[in-house]
Amino acid sequence: MPPLDSTDLRILAALQEDGRLANVALADRIGLSPSPCLRRVKHLEAEGVIEGYRAILRPEAVGLGLTVFVEVKVDRHTRENADALDQALAGLPEVVSCHMVSGTADFLAEVVVSDLAAYERFLSDHLLRLPMVADIRSNVSLRRVKRAGPLPLPRQEPAL
C-alpha cells in the first residue's frame, strides 16, 4: 500500500472519532467534495486500512461487569503449541482482545464476562482444558481508566 497522505489521515481521524459520519459530512469536515472523499474511503477499506465499523458498547449496560486480563504461558514452546493456543483464544467470544507478548507470559488475553462465577466457568470449561497451556495468571480489572480509543495517527496537515 502506498503511504497515507494528509487527506487520508484526516479521513481516518474523522472516522475514528465518528464512524457514522455520512460521506457528505465527512467530505465537508476534511475539505473535499463528496465523490473524491467516497473514493478515498472505499480505497482505504479495500486496502484494509479501515477494517470495519461497529458500535462501542458499555459492558455493564449489557450485563458484562467483569474484565480479567489473563496471562497464559505455553507448555513446551513449539510453533504448533503457540499456533494452537492462538487459534483457541481467538475462537472464544469472551476473549475480546488478545496479544502474543514477550515477558513472563506468552499471551495476554482480555476476557469480559458477567461476574466472577462466569469467569470461573470460562476458566474451567475452556482455558484449563487446553493441553498446550502451562500456566494461567488472572488479573481482575478494578476499574477501566481508559477505553481502547482512536489510534494516535501522525499529525494531519491543515487542508488548504
Decide: helix, strand or coil at residue 21: coil
What percent of the chain lies above the pLDDT cut of 90? Answer: 91
* Ordered strands of the 133-140 beta sheet: 95-100, 107-113, 66-74, 133-140
Q: What number of other Cβ atoms are within 10 A of residue 83's Cβ?
A: 12
- CA–CA separation, 73 vs 71, rounded Å? 7
Copy the grid coordinates of residue 25.
459530512
pLDDT number for residue 160: 56
Better-scored residue on pLDDT, 4 or 1:
4
pLDDT of residue 156: 61
User: Nearest to residue 17, comparing CAs of 145, 153, 157?
Assistant: 153
The confidence score (pLDDT) of residue 155 equals 80
Map out the domains of the chain with their CATH numbers: 6-46 (1.10.10.10), 59-140 (3.30.70.920)
pLDDT in tens, 84-129: 999 999 999 999 999 999 999 999 999 999 999 999 999 999 999 9
**68 three-state secondary structure:** strand
Query: In what helix (H) or strand (E) does residue 89 lie, and over which residues does it extend?
Result: helix 79-90
